[in-house]
Homo-oligomer: A and B are copies of this chain.
Amino acid sequence: MDNFTFKSPTQFIFGRGTHAQAGKYAARCGAKKVMVLYGGGSVITNGVLQTVVESLDAAGLDFIVAGGVQPNPVSSYVYQAIEAAREEKVDFMLAVGGGSVIDTAKAVAAGVPYDGDFLDFYRGKGVKEALPVGVVLTIAAAGSEGSPNTVITDEETKIKKGATGECLRPQFAILNPELTFTLSAYQSACGISDMMAHIFERYFTKTKDNAVTDRICEGLLLAITEKAMDVIIDREDYEAQAAIMWAGMLAHNNICGVGREQDWGSHALAHQLSALFDAAHGAALAVVFPAWMKYVVDEDVELFARIAHNVWGVAMSDDKKQMALDGIAAYEKFLRGIGMPTNLAQLDVPEEAIPQLVELAFAPGGSTIGYFKKLTPADVEAVYRLAL
């Protein structure tokens, strides 16, 4: 285990009806003027936005509301929102939505007090100061509600990049599983793929001796796979949605990643599919991750055999390589079972796009991607080809 520091100070408020407490918690954070961000119209039609706004009003808070945040959120929106937030003297960002809305809220939160271009933070500059952020979560997926991370697509370069800073961890996050009842099965499946990927990026490491964290990762994966189909079949299965929602937070607040080198190569490859082909993040990960696993399995056959047994129920055998491959196959089968694509064609990505995808993946700089196996451009091309 490597030395590490860990701090996850977000206040989580979990359960039925809890979104009506948004105003109370924002007020406790000292908010005076709140910018409420949301994405599509679903939070309007299902009344969630109305309830949240009423709670702000009841708490005596002033606020402005801005909708229209897109999936795979873009820089132009952030620029506009920063300007509006400054004009209106906003002192608190409240995201009502999923990862795209939360990541946008974090981008605005970092951008408002910063003199330069907010995209500097997405080019490697650490975020040291930001407006406080609160969350009312409506989709279990990105884990941004408990993480210090945000991902934005730079529209000029089409590059999807992340920024990070401990001050970006939300002050509070309200997790009401009922709010996910109106999602489509496909949206939920994307979320499930995404949170599993967040665990895999941490699980597959060259750092030895991670007994506790390995078991937490495996436990979360077991709970997710146990409840995934319930969520797909019955959108209003509260307990299943609750399990998925809580797992999504734990998958990404880094309790699954302390004390070990993490990979994140598959995310880098998936981001390009979203940037170029507007693939849903979870769907892109469902295509990339099994291919990546097949490509890197020989880096640590024992670890792949372990997860095959502990998570996918593959019987113990002396042939660890076969166990490892059976585990990857079980993961792919699971993804198909919940309705996820597992090859590029299903995302309408043609083979001819691969060179451009590779180029884009390396556009941010650097000669390799990931850590479990450091992928060269030739490796990345091979992974994409395994996903054909």
Contact = CB atoms under 8 A, between A and B. Distances in A.
Nearest to A1: B242
A12 interface: yes
A15 B240 CA distance: 37
Contacts of A12: 4-7
A340 to B, nearest CB: 21
Contact of A13 (B5, B212, B239): B5
Contacts of A226: 211
Interface stretch (A73-81, A96-104, A214-222): A214-222
Nearest to A213: B246
Contacts of A214: 223
Given A8-B8, A9-B7, A243 B14 contact: no
A247 interface: yes
Given A258-B14, A259-B14, A1 B243 contact: yes
Nearest to A169: B9
Contacts of A239: 1, 208-209, 211
Contact of A215 (B3, B223, B240): B223
Contacts of A123: none
A16 interface: yes
A320 interface: no
Contacts of A376: none
Contacts of A13: 5
Nearest to A215: B219
Nearest to A239: B209
Nearest to A247: B212
Given A209-B242, A215-B223, A246-B212, A11 B16 contact: no
A192 to B, nearest CB: 13
Given A212-B223, A215-B222, A243-B209, A18 B6 contact: no
A241 to B, nearest CB: 10
Contacts of A240: 211
Given A7-B9, A212-B250, 6 more contacts: A4-B15, A5-B12, A7-B11, A211-B239, A212-B220, A214-B223
